[in-house]
Amino acid sequence: MADQTPTDRTDENDQKGSYVTQGKSFDRDMNYIDDRITRDGRDGWPVEAGRYRLAVSRACPWANRTIISRRLLGLEDAISLAVAGPTHDKRSWTFDLDPDGRDPVLGYERLQEAYFARFPEYPRGITVPAMIDVPTKAVVTNDFQRITLDFATEWTEHHREGAPDLYPVAQREEIDALNTWMLHHVNNGVYKTGFAGSQEEYEKAYRDLWASLDELEQRLADRRYLMGASITEADIRLFPTLVRFDPVYHGHFKCNRQTLSTMPNLWNYTKDLFQTPGFGDTIDFQHIKEHYYVVHTDINPTQVVPLGPDTSIFMEPHDRDRFETDTWGPGGAAPEPPLAAEVVDPEHTPLQVTGR
């Protein structure tokens, strides 16, 4: 890793308030701890049920991907979940949702403790998602792009019966290319727009983002999901950005050419996934809004959190079932409801979910 202090990292997980550099474009630090948890344990971290804890915040779109993947694949019993609160300071995400403000398994108040347990002078931002080794209480990896791929390919012996193949071999090359494109132009495109440090950089990012959303609108004109009839890793990566678009990115990040709800294919696709088990039941709109509007003090110095929009519209009918559909793939089936302890506060979502 390059020599870099935590306050140098440009990331929504990082220092409270400091995201915009005057006159500059937004530059996300993409250097993460690249250790992997694999079937053969080649990095020293073998797949082992009950050994690892996934640290997330429901506010963070990158962490949201891992929560969805874990749900769809049925890894809840194999990988436990540590949920941080929606806001953080320049030091770390905190486990303020738990009794006494400590994660009940790790005993930590702050996620940074897991990072420092392995790297006492860890030089980068303390980010979610992160996989934590429970025996040592030390971070294993925070490589958000690799974590979900390994859930799909390395943890197969712990997948539930009927788990979908989210990363089918025949489509991997196309999925990888689409995911890379979406990362730079859409997932990170909203941040490039919102954290632009000049009018010129803002307009450049804005135009690129909307050109990319228009391209996705066209892609979804003839298929139910991004890769066709079935849900894949690509959908898991796009959904967290789309579901946050109207509540946050449209206004807070000035991505305001139009709301997503005015784009028929993208909007109906978002509603479709929201109403699909494993997607909408991971979304906490209150946490999402609190994170962006409270933490980003350089673009919202008052920290006022908006009351709208009305999220019940995510439950309105969609038209996506007009396409060829095999949602869960051959032999697949919908996941069970979330664990009772992991059900989103019903006041924070239009979904009414009963946990198991």
Task: Check residue 29 and give its pLDDT.
Answer: 81
Residue with tokens 């050994």: 51
Contact 328, 225 (CB under 8 A): no
Question: Which candidate in 32, 52, 60, 202 is catalytic?
Answer: 60
**For residue 2, what pLDDT is reported?**
27
For residue 20, the model assigns a pLDDT of 81
* Annotated catalytic residue, options 32, 52, 115, 191: 191
Tokens 């979406």, located at residue: 182
pLDDT of residue 10: 38
Question: What is the structure's pLDDT at 16?
Answer: 45
Looking at residue 18, what is its pLDDT? Answer: 67
Q: Please choose, from the candidates 32, 98, 60, the residue with its C-alpha nearest in 3D space to the C-alpha of residue 110.
A: 98
pLDDT, position 8: 34
CA distance 212 to 217: 9
Q: 3-state DSSP call for residue 147? A: helix
Instruction: Tell me what pLDDT residue 22 has.
Output: 84
255 is an active site residue: no
> In a structure prediction context, what are the per-residue pLDDT tens digits for the chain, which is 356 residues long?
222 223 334 344 444 446 888 877 787 888 899 999 999 999 999 999 999 999 999 999 999 999 999 999 999 999 999 999 999 988 899 999 999 999 999 999 999 999 999 999 999 999 999 999 999 999 999 999 999 999 999 999 999 999 999 999 999 999 999 999 999 999 999 999 999 999 999 999 999 999 999 999 999 999 999 999 999 999 999 999 999 999 999 999 999 999 999 999 999 999 999 999 999 999 999 999 999 999 999 999 999 999 999 999 999 999 999 999 999 999 999 999 999 999 999 999 999 999 99
- Please name each of the domains of the chain with its CATH number: 6-158 (3.40.30.10), 172-348 (1.20.1050.10)
HEC profile for 50-95? CCEEEEEECCCHHHHHHHHHHHHHCCCCCCEEEEECCCECCCCEEC
Give residue 91's pLDDT. 84
β-sheet bridge partners, residue 141:
131
